[in-house]
């Protein structure tokens, strides 16, 4: 296993001078050096063949003892110095101060095919930022993160990636629902990959501490290495940098809404500066089309991070980043203008996205109302979002009265389709059929186009839970099955049709299938 190692982050940014691994406040630094924890009996469960190739590795490499040891934290690559990143953030709208990589350790940066990737372990032991926690992760959360990182990539959603999933052989104590019932679980490690793991909170913490010198160093580093097309650092470049971060964030969230993904914990420390989905914790997919749903038990009361509010939270988080960058710009107007552009840009991008989901490729003013009425109807009866939109591609606009029968598999309780509800649907399908007549697109062509944006397969929580339950019993075949299916989420894959189905009733309130906690 041979990497072309780089050290941009550690060579260009200030390090914490204290080398002992003790919990502490870290000032005037962007990271702390730290060594991963040795594990009792590491065992590789799965490796992403896509990421192996992306990093210039082979399956033969992944079968070596060296690969196992490096990507479980049991050995450190020659000429590398692992580190944990320092950052802060707002959690559920409240400033939390210093947070940092409490259970993530960056191994190194590597270059392949002119792209540089940061390699990171999640669950590899404590760091100066672990606070009262142990820095470890358990199998259930690691399976979820591993599968979802790769699933999102193949859905076309900007995301961090995952390279491998491994057991550590250690037992980890966790209170899964924060209800005082702690229990030991199997420890695990996921190796994560991204061009950078910098977050909004990386900049916020420095601004909050009024450490403008380090803030400028970090922003200049970020522009030089990840936004070099913007030019040399200057006030104008800082503004352009913020504009592009806002645009990337907007694009990411539009994709979330398109596929029905709910992040669950959009704290500013979980927002990538590159506009990538990061930190897969209590996420979920909208199954019943309830726009107020959040998968996070911690957020159950206020529902700050519910599906319908994700675009607004994205804007709120960008406002916090603007505050952090203000000391380098010293002018509010251009930053405010970018935030205003986000609002208008989201509305425009969302409408375009929704048009594509229902097969409209020209623009009519009436489309907004048609989409509004569709979303209202979807909430009248418990309706599966993924199945509805995927099946809608089969709609024959010459027979709108037959549409409800066509879509009956999307309804969790068909008996709830009262005459009043049916009347609203029939009215909508008639309007939709009339609108499709203006497209002059052949039904088969429209179906092909719609199936490129409406996935057939997503990683529903019950699917993850089945894989977790099997893995807890030493059976890892379902992890591989789901990984394989989710590499082609827009393809029919008829032999996997059992996964194109509504959430089973047993999963409605089952822990891990409906609501989840932030517990690792």
Binning the chain into helix, strand and coil, the percentages to the nearest 5 are: 45, 15, 40
Residues 6+ apart with CB under 8 A from 454: 357, 386, 389, 390, 392, 393, 490
Phi, psi dihedrals of residue 98, rounded to the nearest 5°: -70, 130
CA distances from 178 to 103, 297, 305, 507 (A): 19, 9, 19, 20
Whole-number Å distance between alpha carbons of 266 and 145: 16
* Catalytic annotation, pick one of 269, 279, 288, 384: 269
What is the length of the chain? 520
Q: Are the C-beta atoms of residues 338 and 243 closer than 8 Å to each other?
A: yes
Q: Are the C-beta atoms of residues 121 and 137 closer than 8 Å to each other?
A: no
Q: How many CB atoms lie within 10 A of CB 363?
A: 9
Strand ranges (DSSP E) for 319-402? none
Q: Are the C-beta atoms of residues 482 and 459 closer than 8 Å to each other?
A: yes
269 as an active site residue: the answer is: yes
In sign, the C-alpha dihedral spanning 165, 137, 160, 15 is negative
Whole-number Å distance between alpha carbons of 33 and 257: 38
**CA R_g for the chain:** 24
Q: How many CB atoms lie within 10 A of CB 302?
A: 12
Q: Hey, which residues are catalytic here? A: 269
């Amino acid at each position: 296993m041979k990497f072309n190692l780089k050290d941009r982050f550690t060579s260009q940014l200030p390090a914490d001078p204290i080398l002992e691994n003790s919990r502490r406040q870290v000032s005037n630094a962007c990271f702390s050096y730290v060594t991963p924890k040795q594990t009792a009996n590491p065992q590789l469960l799965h490796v992403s063949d896509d990421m192996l190739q992306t990093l210039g590795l082979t399956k033969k490499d992944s079968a070596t003892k060296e690969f196992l040891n490096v990507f479980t934290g049991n050995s450190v690559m020659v000429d590398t110095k692992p580190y944990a990143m320092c950052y802060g953030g707002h959690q559920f709208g409240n400033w939390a101060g210093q947070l940092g990589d409490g259970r993530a350790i960056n191994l190194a940066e590597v270059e392949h095919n002119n792209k540089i990737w940061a390699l990171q372990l999640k669950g590899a032991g404590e760091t100066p930022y672990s606070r009262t926690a142990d820095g470890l992760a358990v199998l259930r959360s690691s399976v979820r993160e591993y599968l979802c990182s790769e699933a999102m990539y193949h859905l076309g959603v900007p995301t961090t990636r995952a390279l491998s999933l491994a057991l550590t052989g250690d037992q980890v104590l966790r209170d899964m629902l924060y209800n005082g019932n702690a229990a030991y679980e199997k420890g695990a490690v996921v190796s994560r990959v991204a061009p950078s793991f910098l977050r909004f909170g990386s900049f916020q913490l420095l601004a909050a501490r009024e450490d403008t010198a380090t803030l400028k160093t970090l922003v200049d580093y970020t522009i030089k290495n990840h936004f070099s097309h913007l030019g040399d650092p200057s006030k104008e470049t800082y503004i352009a940098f913020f504009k592009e971060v806002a645009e990337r964030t907007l694009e990411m969230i539009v994709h979330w809404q398109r596929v029905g993904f709910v992040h669950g914990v959009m704290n500013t420390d979980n927002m990538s500066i590159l506009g990538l989905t990061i930190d897969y914790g209590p996420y979920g997919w909208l199954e019943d089309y309830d726009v107020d749903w959040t998968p996070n038990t911690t957020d159950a009361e206020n529902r700050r991070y519910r599906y319908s509010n994700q675009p607004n939270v994205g804007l709120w988080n960008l406002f916090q980043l603007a505050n952090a960058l203000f000391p380098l710009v010293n002018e509010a107007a251009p930053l405010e203008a970018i935030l205003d552009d986000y609002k208008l840009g989201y509305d425009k991008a969302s409408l375009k996205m929704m048009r594509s989901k229902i097969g409209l490729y020209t623009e009519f003013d009436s489309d907004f109302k048609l989409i509004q009425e569709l979303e209202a109807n979807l909430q009248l009866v418990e309706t599966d979002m993924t199945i509805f939109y995927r099946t809608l591609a089969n709609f024959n606009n010459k027979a709108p009265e037959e549409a409800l029968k066509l879509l009956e598999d999307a309804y969790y309780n068909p008996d709830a389709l009262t005459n009043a509800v049916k009347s609203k649907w029939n009215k909508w399908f008639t309007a939709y059929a009339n609108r499709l007549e203006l497209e002059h697109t052949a039904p088969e062509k429209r179906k092909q186009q719609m199936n490129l944006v409406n996935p057939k397969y997503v990683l529903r929580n019950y699917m993850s839970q089945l894989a977790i339950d099997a893995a807890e019993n030493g059976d890892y075949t379902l992890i591989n099955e789901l990984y394989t299916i989710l590499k082609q989420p827009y393809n029919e894959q008829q032999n996997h049709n059992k996964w194109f189905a509504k959430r089973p009733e047993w999963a409605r309130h089952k822990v891990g299938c409906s609501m989840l906690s932030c517990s690792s």
